[in-house]
Amino acid sequence: MPEKDTASFFGTGVVTFNNEAKHKVLGVSNATLEKYTAVSSQTVGEMAEGALKLADADVSIAISGYAGPDGGEDGTRRAPSGLAGAFAAK
């Protein structure tokens, strides 16, 4: 089986570091971001669905997490570094 060129299966990539970008670019609802935070299965699910629409793709993968040394702040509790969510949609 011949190897495929990456461009034959990977067409679009999006990086959204903050909630505003998640909302504007991927259509994540502000209500979801406020209620569940940026690193939640609910948010990451909406990111994956938004990526499908944005790219008119068959499959999407979305990942969100806190990477910095101090973790993230969600307004009500401290979230540790490494906390992450991943979701695939089709």
- For the full predicted model, state whether its pTM sits above 0.85: no
Please report the pLDDT score of residue 59 as a whole number.
Answer: 87
**What confidence tens digit (pLDDT) does each residue in 43-76 have?**
999 999 999 999 998 888 898 887 767 666 655 5
**What confidence tens digit (pLDDT) does each residue in 21-35 have?**
999 999 999 999 999
Q: What is the CATH number of the domain that holds 72?
A: 3.90.950.20
- Cross-strand pairs, 70: none
Is 64 within 8 Å of 84 (Cβ atoms)?
yes
Top pLDDT among 23 and 3 is at 23
Position 3 in a domain: no
Cα angle 34, 26, 12 (rounded to 5 degrees) comes to 150
Position 73 in a domain: yes
Position 55 in a domain: yes
Position 35 in a domain: yes
Position 23 in a domain: yes
Domain boundaries, position 33: 14-89
Position 72 in a domain: yes
